[in-house]
Chain A
Amino acid sequence: MHPGGHLLSVLVFFPALGALALLLLRGDDLVWIRRLALTISIAEFLLSLLLIPGVPLGVAGYQLEEFARWINVPPINYHLGVDGISLFLVILTTFLTLISVIASWKSIEHRVKEFFVMLLMLEVGVNGVFFALDLFLFFLFWEVMLIPMAFLIGIWGHERRIYAAVKFVLYTMAGSILMLVGIIWLYNATGTFDLPKMQQFLQSGALVLPARTEMILFLAFFLAFAIKVPLFPLHTWLPDAHVEAPTAGSVILAGVLLKLGTYGMIRFCLPLFPNASRRFAPAVAVLAIIGIIYGALVALVQPNLKKLVAYSSVSHLGFVVLGIFAFNPISMQGAVFQMLAHGISTGALFLLVGMLYDRRHTFEISEYGGLATPMPKLAAFFLFVALSSLGLPMLNGFVGEYLILLGTYQVHWNWAAWAASGVILSACYLLWSYQRVFFGDLTREKNRTLPDVSPREKWILVSMAVITLWMGIGSLSFTRRFAASCQNVLDQMGPGQAREAAAPEKSAPPRGSALVAMPEKTSVERTASR
């Protein structure tokens, strides 16, 4: 038993305790409610940093595992664990929750206590999903997360909030219930809900799923995840949810919730159903590429600034899915990195859009124009974040997209070629919208007197900007922590992977980038850790 043996449980349930404590406060005691929520989210963030030393470099297996029997028949266990992939996603979650709490300091004035309770309960669900190593437990947290998010949209959202909240829940449930059927089916085939055990069975050949069963199960899981991502053509809930959600809701939704879909694909679809994954990969890639281009094109013509950012998410998440389904170690790392980068950049974009909304109460681009004059600092931050989102080298967005395209190119050059057009389009829509909002003449009299960023807003944006820059320059400190885990996912896919990777030998040699440091002892250490 290593020290801090219950760190994962603490991380999952600490926010729940905090939410309970919040409930005990009086509803009109706004000052203390905000302070307590802030304290809890800071503590949670600091706790999550303790995970980093817990996940050793270059080791692929699950760390800090916790195991307890929960239900006897069928055997369902409380099994948590963390690896390189979930490590940063959890830290991203706790960080964005903290940012959301600060960002909602002034903008939420109505039912404040409930707001923070919901935010914290959402954190419980999300952390649980990232840590769960039991499929049943995973599903449980996956569903638990729905309700707080629906409430965040439905109570504190904008005009059409109820429509958006209900649409969000129904879309997600439709996918997840089928996933439940898939989970049970998988249990019947394997006799366990335990993910590591299942992986062991599959790898040792003790269990072979019939091809047809594997395909159906893959689809059951994939559909749930694809709705969450969202993959074209299942994306229609996303713009509604984003536009109607309050700023903090959008930040968490874009920053973390969408990643649950791609995380699920990496964690479950690929290792559990390798053959089906390979078989469906071309179709998935086509949908991802359509998503990349379609999302970008729609963003290009959006008159609504928040919807523009929402569609840019569809486009960016298309890259992630493409990177995952290229089955290449480099693109896989790129996908994971892009998940983190998108969380920070898009989170920051939503924060900025929210700050504009707080001042003018509109998302219409035509209502703005020439804002750089009254609010130069905000304009500078916006430019910085937009550049990171469109993938300027040295900033975080570049690393992810570059790795994805590089890795994908090695396997399917034509996929990469199509996807690359998304990079160009993203530059178009982001820079064009930036120009319309911040440059030109001040067309509206009201905009002339808008206040620039307040100290609170400034500190939020500075912290986001620092991380953006750090992820861009010091990307190695991130990739080296999840490289082994990414490789492990591909290893678990079995021999087919070698065939796929061997095919494009004549194209660019894979070891071109200094960014991709692959620990050499990976496989040895993994077997040792078993």
Chain B
Amino acid sequence: MFPIRGDMLRVMPELIWCGFGVLLMLFQPFVRNRHFFTTLALVGSLLGTLSALWPAALGGTAFGGIIQADAFSFFFHLLIGLVVSLVVLAAGPYLERERLAFPEFFALTLFATAGMGVLASAQELVTAFIGLELSSISSYVLAGYRRDSLKSSESSLKYFLLGSFATAFFLYGIALVYGATGSTFLSRMADAGASSNLLKLGFSLILIGLGFKVAVAPFQIWTPDVYEGAPTPVTALFSSGPKAAAFALLLRIFASVPAATQFWFWAFWVLAVLTMFAGNLGALVQTNVKRMLAYSSIAHAGYILVAFASVTFLAQEGAAAAAPAYAAILFYLLSYALVKLGAFTIVSQFGGEGEKHLSLDDYAGLGQRQPFAAAALGLFLLSLLGLPVTAGFFGKFYIFKAAVNSHLIWLAILMAVNSVIGAYYYLRLIVVMYMREPSAETASSAPMRFPLTVNLVLTIAAASTVYFGLFPNQVLHFVLQTNLLGH
């Protein structure tokens, strides 16, 4: 079967991202200029993002139904593309400071992006697996990109070993699902109508595999170490891009799972509670800011799982009933990705050469020394905390609403308790920044000047956080459409 033109257009973003990744590698031996690579990578990621308009306009499926082009995949392509473009922008100064090679970094980032894109639009499990591997393998390398740092190598190795293990679960799950339904196409699974234990087991294994990727407790052990060890721009990418993509696939799968929703409902309920508590309680005792933010992303995965529990509950009453819960997840992922990206970008800047300044004490008195950066970080933290006038507030609000809609009052209350625990550690960082005097050593050093690109990234992240916190209408309108999932 030869790919026809329509098929190619429907995977245009992935093609462009991969193509530019290859271009970067080709140019590497010939071009010395670092800015050339940054520009090339930026152009590639932006072009790929823009080209997502094609599949969105075309709709339908490609390559015999393995790729689905719909509003859902369009949303995630835009989100991932935006995240990656910002990461590319912010990574340049970091790579320069740490004296790391530019082209490979950007090439790997773009390959990972293509993998995430596939994840977001895969309609068939083996294709999804390819996407997962494409993004994971690039991620393993990126995590260890600071070769001379022990922590970075440890991070890479840990991620690789545990990640491959999780992928094996995912693959085994696909095999079992195939055994139960005779198909790997998600669309045909709903028709198979089987609710056998074999199918449940298969989907459970898939859930474990993807749960690992999005750091769901009890499969979250790797997260703090990997996030801490990886170069910070990579951490920024990990905490937003692949997470969104894996959640996208998870959502697509569990939107098509036949019957037995009750089972998945309880599975998500338990996982959500475990994950929220694991993340928040872990973050409470951290003194390293990067590690604290890593634990916080576990906690946020837990909040998103609350909405998943709500999706599986409402799906029993039909797809239309579950639409607000889908919308909640999508909006939350958007707000969360922007905020986490911004926060890690600031952490990456303050880390200084060799990422030495990551402890809470290093942030003392930042409010006075660097008012703008501190204000931006404060804004991101407040958004993570879920205070009004930030996108995070609406994200949390819609999840609460989805939970209450599904009569998950206890889950909502547990989430409320977790929000308060979370408030403590986010506030602690704000308190340190604004209410403590800087240590003698940091007070004497000159304030750090942020490169233009980093400032641009921070401005975009902060402005959109406030904008979506005041006017969430357009995004909501988009994610609330009924034919989100194309079928």
Contacts and interface: CB of A to CB of B under 8 A. Distances in A.
Contact of B435 (A74, A140, A155): A155
Contact of B405 (A162, A169, A174, A188): A188
B221 to A, nearest CB: 28
Interface in B456-478: 472-473, 476-477
A177 interface: yes
Given A144-B389, A165-B431, A73 B476 contact: yes
Interface string B430-462: 010011100000000000000000000000000
Interface stretch (A37-45, A146-154, A328-336): A146-154
Interface stretch (B75-83, B158-166, B421-429): B421-429
B441 to A, nearest CB: 21
B472 to A, nearest CB: 6
Interface string A426-442: 00000000000000000
B219 interface: no
B371 to A, nearest CB: 9
Interface string A65-78: 00000011110000
Interface residues on A, range: 20 to 34
Contacts of B413: 178, 181
A170 B424 contact: yes
Interface in A106-149: 111, 139-141, 143-144, 146-147
Interface in A168-212: 169-170, 173-174, 177-178, 180-181, 184-185, 187-188
Contacts of A34: none
A146 B412 CA distance: 22
A169 B427 contact: yes
A173 B401 CA distance: 18
B420 A170 contact: yes
Contact of A154 (B404, B431, B477): B431
A165 B389 contact: no
Interface in B370-415: 382, 387-389, 393, 397, 400-401, 404-405, 409, 412-413
Contacts of B472: 71
A154 B437 CA distance: 12
Tell me the interface secondary structure of chain B in the complex.
helix
A181 B409 contact: yes
Contacts of B387: 143-144, 146-147
A517 interface: no
Interface string A38-72: 00000000000000000000000000000000011
A181 B431 contact: no
A481 B397 CA distance: 37
A298 interface: no
B480 A177 contact: no
A154 B428 CA distance: 11
B416 interface: yes
Contacts of A161: 435
Contacts of A72: 473, 476-477
A166 interface: yes
Q: Which of B413, B428, B434, B436 has the most CB of A within 10 A?
A: B434
B368 interface: yes
B419 interface: yes
A177 B420 contact: yes
A74 B416 contact: no
A173 B435 contact: no
Interface string A361-395: 00000000000000000000000000000000000
B414 to A, nearest CB: 11
B419 A154 contact: no
B423 A173 contact: yes
Interface residues of B, number: 31
Contact of B428 (A139, A151, A166): A166
Nearest to A163: B431
Contacts of B420: 170, 173-174, 177
Contact of B419 (A141, A155, A166, A173): A173
Nearest to A143: B388
B473 A166 contact: no
Nearest to A182: B404
Contact of B397 (A150, A180, A188): A180
A188 B435 contact: no
A72 B382 CA distance: 24
Contacts of B473: 71-72
Contacts of B477: 72-73
A19 to B, nearest CB: 13
B427 A181 contact: no
Contacts of A165: 431, 435
A71 B475 CA distance: 11
Contacts of B434: 151, 154-155
Given A71-B473, A140-B388, A162 B431 contact: yes
Contacts of A155: 434-435
A456 to B, nearest CB: 28
A184 B409 CA distance: 11
A228 to B, nearest CB: 15
A169 B423 contact: yes
Contacts of A73: 324, 476-477, 480
B419 A177 contact: yes
Contacts of B400: 180-181, 184
Contacts of A150: 427
Nearest to B479: A73
Contacts of A151: 434-435
Given A170-B420, A173-B419, A188 B388 contact: no
Contacts of B431: 154, 162, 165-166
Given A170-B424, A180-B397, A71 B476 contact: yes
Nearest to A142: B388
A177 B420 CA distance: 8
Contacts of B405: 188
Contact of B424 (A147, A166, A180, A216): A166
Nearest to A187: B401
Q: Which of A165, A174, A177 has the most CB of B within 10 A?
A: A177
A222 to B, nearest CB: 15
B397 to A, nearest CB: 7
Given A71-B473, A72-B473, A151-B434, A177 B382 contact: no
Contacts of A173: 419-420, 423
Nearest to B470: A70
5 contacts: A72-B473, A147-B382, A151-B434, A177-B416, A216-B409
Given A144-B388, A180-B400, A181-B413, 9 more contacts: A71-B473, A71-B476, A140-B393, A143-B387, A155-B435, A166-B424, A181-B412, A184-B412, A185-B404
Shortest beta-carbon contacts, A-B, top 4: A177-B416, A140-B388, A154-B435, A184-B404
